[in-house]
Copies of this chain bind each other. A is one copy, B any other.
Amino acid sequence: MADATFWQEAQVIFGNRISKKRTDCETHGQSETWFPLTPPEAVVFPETTEEVAALTKICAAHRVPLVGWGAGTSLEGHALAVAGGIVVDFSRMNRVLEVRAEDRLVRVQPGITREALNADLRATGLFFPVDPGANASLGGMAATRASGTTTVRYGSMRDNVAGLSVVLADGRVIRTGSGAAKSASGYDLTALMLGSEGTLGLITELTLRLHGQPEAVSSAVCAFERFEAAVETVQHVIQLGIEVARIEFVDEEIARIFNKMNGTALPETPHLMIEFHGSDAGVAEASERFGEVVAEMGGADFQWATTTEERNRLWKMRHGAYSACIASRPGCMGLVTDVCVPISRLAEAVAQARALIAAAGLTGPILGHVGDGNFHAILLLDRENPAELATAKTVAHDLAAMALAMGGTITGEHGIGLGKRAMMAEEHGQAWAVMGAIKAALDPLNILNPGKLVPQDGEMP
């Protein structure tokens, strides 16, 4: 618990940009999913790296936990202050600092959202590709090593962050990475910070890699009678090296929800949603090769989204799938799984997931970034029925165990947060203890997002 001296010192830095109001604390104690309300002791709204560093110093002196907050769109409770302390809301640090079009780089503050960033970049002919479903902040996306629909072509945050400014647990500020395309200079601290979920430092600036807006873009939806055929199509496409920019699977239940919530008239069967980027000739060539695979696999004719508006509508619908699922069943909450398996095991994994969900008697539509071998079951749960949540947790655990048995990972893109920490030893073995040793070295007082990601006392031998 922070004492009076701490509050005085914090107020000197932040004035009225530090709040202990119940509404502020509750807003920053919510999650998008099933975690209980966990309000912090206070919320601060910094405007500069220096303010974050100054805050971290007094937090270290008073042993007060610090938890970063971007857009609050985590599905795993990453930003919940489970050990109390201060939530650092980066919404006022949301500027584009420098566009370096010649180097395809942009320097931004962590609070900017991906949609705001791309709106800002539109006139440059460049864009930032990583697109989790929600309109997340770039700081949060970096902290969780996020990815999205275009990762199959452009990579995840791991591939698209050139460098960071990070406030460490003792208030020192470091810069990682460089403006060069590559470097062999020392430990890759950029990569270490990406996915560290606020446990090693607070990201206060990012240099991101941009890509040229493609000359030609072509999107389509394609229906399949059976989910196996849809998913096997994806396996073939990836194994043949056909260049897709997006290749998304949605099952028959999601198609039904899209029709209900968005007024579409999709056949209520499994679908693939695809997009090609490139030159006119390149897109034509890839579409043709893709079409051949679909025909072999018995898919229906494509429905092309020919105008930009149609295309935007398509991907907006896809990105809104989680909200649509939740809204489709009033009073429900979601538990979303996020396994990622080697592409050769994808069809088998989706089949097992469907079987597990059905056997548990749950409703759990499935969709995913299947080109990466990554898919989600959105388990729709009655808020008033704790037994359903318990069943869902068991299904999520079994799915994660299945992914590990297939040589995959428990989380393709949502991260660990509170929801998957219990599976870390199973995925990483002694490597989890190594993560704990790194955490202890860089945050010996355990003030940065305590209770998350790494082993807690007694959890590892």
Contact = CB atoms under 8 A, between A and B. Distances in A.
Interface of A: 100, 102-105, 144-147, 151-152, 156, 158-159, 168, 172-176, 178-189, 191-192, 194-196, 200, 211-212, 235, 239, 241, 279, 281-282, 285, 338, 340-344, 371-374, 403, 406-416, 420, 424, 427-432, 434-435, 437-438, 440-442, 453
Given A183-B411, A374-B180, A343 B424 contact: no
Contact of A179 (B178, B235, B342, B428): B342
B412 A182 contact: yes
Given A186-B195, A191-B192, 12 more contacts: A180-B403, A182-B412, A184-B195, A184-B411, A184-B413, A185-B409, A185-B424, A186-B431, A186-B435, A187-B453, A189-B431, A281-B285
Given A281-B281, A282-B285, A441-B440, A340 B180 contact: yes
A102 B187 CA distance: 32
A407 B100 CA distance: 12
Nearest to A196: B187
A185 B144 contact: no
A91 to B, nearest CB: 23
B172 A430 contact: yes
Given A187-B192, A192-B188, A192-B192, A407 B178 contact: yes
B438 A185 contact: no
A103 B438 CA distance: 31
Nearest to A431: B174
Contacts of A200: 187
B194 A188 contact: yes
A328 to B, nearest CB: 27
B407 A179 contact: yes
A373 B431 contact: no
A145 B184 CA distance: 6
A104 B279 CA distance: 26
B453 A182 contact: no
A406 B102 CA distance: 14
A249 to B, nearest CB: 15
A276 to B, nearest CB: 13
Contacts of A192: 187-188, 191-192, 438
A173 B431 CA distance: 8
A427 to B, nearest CB: 6
B178 A432 contact: no
